[in-house]
Amino acid sequence: MGAAFLITLREGIEAALVISILLAYLRQLGRTDRSHLVWWGTGVAVAVSLGVGAIIFAAAGGFEGRAEEAFEGLVSLFAVVVLTWMIFWMRRQAARIRSELQEKVDSALVAGGFALASLAFFVVLREGVETALFMFSTVKATAGGAGGTWGQVAGALLGLGTAVVLGYLLYRGGVRLNIRTFFRVTGGLILVVAAGLFAFSVHELQEAGFLPFLEQHAFDIKATLSDEGGLGAILRALIGYNDNPSVLELLSWVAYVLVTGVYYLRPVVPRRAAVPATTP
């Protein structure tokens, strides 16, 4: 439940932030007559995202045995790649997202209503498809504990609901949020979640026979701290804890945390503004 809540809260806040910036800027320009286009684009993006999620879960149900493990492992691995890219991209862009969106709104208003709706559509669609991928991976990785599938669904709905409320308050000015700090903190937490998903993808690919090495158990503490219930299930949902991981799973989790953690904690180097060329 915790992983689903954190991921959907983060993705939902990103989408809500974008929508609130678009609507607030239209209000500032006195073009609230165009606000419905933002909502149209958002609504279509949400519908497409739900369809993508349904297709992924339905496709997984069509596989059995090693094919199912390979599918789940590859989708989870892809989700980790997208999740990692998103975290580091937002880390660099958080301070500039408002000005860039306002520039795009200016261009969209000149181009016409379809351009404005498309702007909202593609931004929200990106968050929606990412959420569908992450939800599939977290549900499969934690199905045996922490409330199972329904626990993750409940966490996802709670995260999205919280994001909607915060987005509305941001738009109305009822709450102020330090965007850079919010994304930095949640980004660090999600990298730990992603480490668990990465280890899960390695586990599934080993079960499918794609990674036939380092398969011996690193340890087995199932009798002491099982990942099927209690504290073990909570840790499984949050950080991908496994009570009897293979050596490769354990090394994958540790390597991911160390590599991404070191890079993530490095200070962000501001991008230099382009210097216009001068004629002699």
For residues 223 and 140, the answer to whether their CB atoms sit within 8 Å is no
Cα–Cα dist 44/128, whole Å: 11
Cα separation values, 195 from 91, 184, 273, Å = 18, 17, 35
Flag whether 273 is in a domain. no
Q: pLDDT for 216-268, tens place per residue?
A: 989 888 888 887 777 877 777 777 788 889 999 999 999 999 999 998 888 76
Other residues' Cβ atoms within 10 Å of the Cβ of residue 209:
10
Using DSSP's 3-state secondary structure scheme, residue 180 falls into helix
In a domain, 154, yes or no: yes
pLDDT digits (tens, 9 = 90+) for 88-133: 887 776 667 777 777 888 888 777 778 888 888 988 888 888 888 8
Task: With respect to residue 217, please indicate whether it lies within any of the assigned structural domains.
Answer: yes
**Backbone φ and ψ of 277, nearest 5°:** -70, 145
270 inside domain: no
Q: What percent of the chain has pLDDT over 70?
A: 86
Q: Is the pLDDT of residue 185 over 70?
A: yes
- How many structural domains compose the chain? 1
> Is 278 among the domain residues?
no
| Position 99 in a domain | yes
What is the gyration radius of the CA atoms in the chain, in angstroms?
21
> Is 91 a member of any domain?
yes
Amino acid, single-letter form, for residue 9 = L
Helices 148-172 + 113-141 axis angle, to 10: 150
CA distance 57 to 147: 18
pTM of the model: 0.77
One-character DSSP codes across 50-118 = HHHHHHHHHHHHT--HHHHHHHHHHHHHHHHHHHHHHHHHHHHHTTTHHHHHHHHHHHHHHH-HHHHHH
Domain residue limits at 244? 2-265
Got the DSSP string for 249-275? HHHHHHHHHHHHHHHHHSPPPPPPPPP
Inside any domain, residue 44: yes
Asked if 256 contacts 194 with a C-beta cutoff of 8 angstroms, the reply is yes
pLDDT value at residue 249: 93
